Amino acid sequence: MDAGAVTFPRKQTRRIMVGDVPVGGGAPITVQSMTITKTADHEGTLQQIYALAAAGADIVRCTCNEPEAAEGLARIVPRSPVPIVADIHHQYRRALEALEAGVHCLRLNPGNIRRPEHIKAVASEAKDRGVPIRIGVNGGSLDPELYDKYGGRVTPEAMVESALREIAYFEEVDFDLIKISVKASNVPLMIEAYRQLSEVTDHPLHLGVTEAGPPPAGIVKATAGIATLLAEGIGDTIRYSLTSDPVDEARLGRQLLECFGLRERKNVDLIACPSCGRAEIDVYKIAQQAQEAFKDRLIPLQVAVMGCVVNGPGEARDADIGIAAGNKRGHLFVKGTNVAVVPEDEMVDTLVEWAEFINTEGVEAALDRAKSTRDAARKAAEEDRQRNLDDRGDDVNASEQLVELLRSERTKES
């Protein structure tokens, strides 16, 4: 089966609009992140919002924790390149001020704003303005009454009930521009809470593992939770909550969606072999250099860095372009066809130059460009391939020798 044809059917949800960005109802899954500046510092916050948008964030959240933050939002919203969500925790008045400031969405934590009249006042105002609200249940700040009801534990059922109670208040004032999250830092708990929630509601869901922590463990936790649910068709918008530069959150969110085929590729998909005894270069170093060189280039191609010419071009034949190391030189290949040979220290530059060429002119044009060098390139690759096989043999990892060793030790024991 063609890997590109594998898709994950998505659960149908209602659609809401966060500013001009659709969420749910079959819209492309969106990436969110949150600023870590003081929202009152509107220039600093805007700078960060621009950086997040450039890294792939479709929607950005800013805290609205004090009156000055609401004033900051009034200045930020008209100049922001993406819709802004105001994060409200304890004071419902901040929500009303954020709406006044023109935000495109609110996030309310039902565990922290609990008086029904306050919740309904915010929902009524949001309804009049056509602004959606995310019900942001958080395992760490669950309504104490629900905590007690479920035996002094945070359970998926308690989190779902918290969200449903909030929806009921919203329904009393006829407000339904809702999205919901039930985040927890415990991955299995979070996964089960979202599964249960998606069974009982068709409001769009915002996925995240809260307080996932610093990379790399934080990335693993966030990916485990979000990716599991996406593969089950659950989720309409996502956020990585990392103890790290929020630009990383936006970039990772985007990358996750791209690798699932849920968003169109914007950047290079860099593949690289893990290296082995046959490698003719430091694959890690060259892959790092390539990653750095492609980081900010919007080239939606698959690019391969392979440690040897014996297996590299074959294993990466689906890549749009790749380089495989030979005898102190690099063998450049386009869709598995050798096109040029370059000195080792020019491998990354050449890769970038050809990727840019393919991005603007296409694969056929690149193969055409190499018409006069293709034969020589194939011959050189074959020479280096043979030399590698002669030097290192077919069994580069010496597995046959190891098997012999194991057998002889067994014989000695018996």
Residues at the site binding ligand SF4, with contacts judged by CB under 6 A = 273-276, 278-279, 306-308, 310-312, 315
Helices and strands in the chain: count of H runs, count of E runs = 15, 15
Residue closer to ligand SF4 (CB basis): 161 or 320: 320
If we measure between CA atoms, which residue out of 158, 149, 152, 202 comes closest to residue 180? Answer: 202
Residue closer to ligand SF4 (CB basis): 234 or 304: 304
- Shortest CB 218 distance to ligand SF4, Å: 29
Residue closer to ligand SF4 (CB basis): 132 or 312: 312
- Shortest CB 258 distance to ligand SF4, Å: 24
Q: How far apart are CA 160 and CA 137, in angstroms?
A: 8
Output 330-333 pairs: Cβ under 8 A, ≥24 positions apart. Answer: 330/281, 331/377, 331/380, 331/381, 331/384, 332/377, 333/381
Strand spans (E) along 185-326:
206-207, 237-239, 269-272, 302-306, 321-325
Alpha carbon distances (Å) from 161 to 132, 149, 181, 244: 20, 11, 12, 32
DSSP state for residue 136 in the 8-state scheme: E
Query: What is the token pair recorded at 164?
Result: 């449903």
Q: Is 184 left (phi over 0), alpha (psi -120 to 50) or beta?
A: beta
Residue closer to ligand SF4 (CB basis): 122 or 308: 308
Rg of the Cα atoms in the chain: 26
- Shortest CB 323 distance to ligand SF4, Å: 11
Question: Kind and range of the H or E element at 107?
Answer: strand 105-108
Residue closer to ligand SF4 (CB basis): 78 or 274: 274
- Shortest CB 265 distance to ligand SF4, Å: 23
- Shortest CB 289 distance to ligand SF4, Å: 16
Q: Three-class SS of residue 272?
A: strand
Residue closer to ligand SF4 (CB basis): 248 or 315: 315
Q: Which residue, judged by CB position, is nearest to ligand SF4 in the bound state?
A: 307
- Shortest CB 211 distance to ligand SF4, Å: 37
Residue closer to ligand SF4 (CB basis): 29 or 281: 281
- Shortest CB 70 distance to ligand SF4, Å: 55
- Pairing status of strand 321-325 against strand 329-334: antiparallel
- Shortest CB 308 distance to ligand SF4, Å: 3
Residue closer to ligand SF4 (CB basis): 142 or 308: 308
If we measure between CA atoms, which residue out of 331, 341, 340 comes closest to residue 304? Answer: 331
Longest dimension (CA), the chain: 85
Neighbours of 156 (CB within 10 A): 21
- Shortest CB 325 distance to ligand SF4, Å: 8
323 beta partners: 305, 332
Residue closer to ligand SF4 (CB basis): 160 or 273: 273
Q: How far apart are CA 90 and CA 220, in angstroms?
A: 31
Residue closer to ligand SF4 (CB basis): 55 or 377: 377
Residue 184 backbone phi and psi in degrees, to 5: -150, 160
- Shortest CB 38 distance to ligand SF4, Å: 48
Exposed (0-12), middle (13-18) or buried (19+): which is 73, by Cβ within 10 Å? buried
- Shortest CB 386 distance to ligand SF4, Å: 14
Q: How far apart are CA 86 and CA 107, in angstroms?
A: 6
Residue closer to ligand SF4 (CB basis): 56 or 330: 330
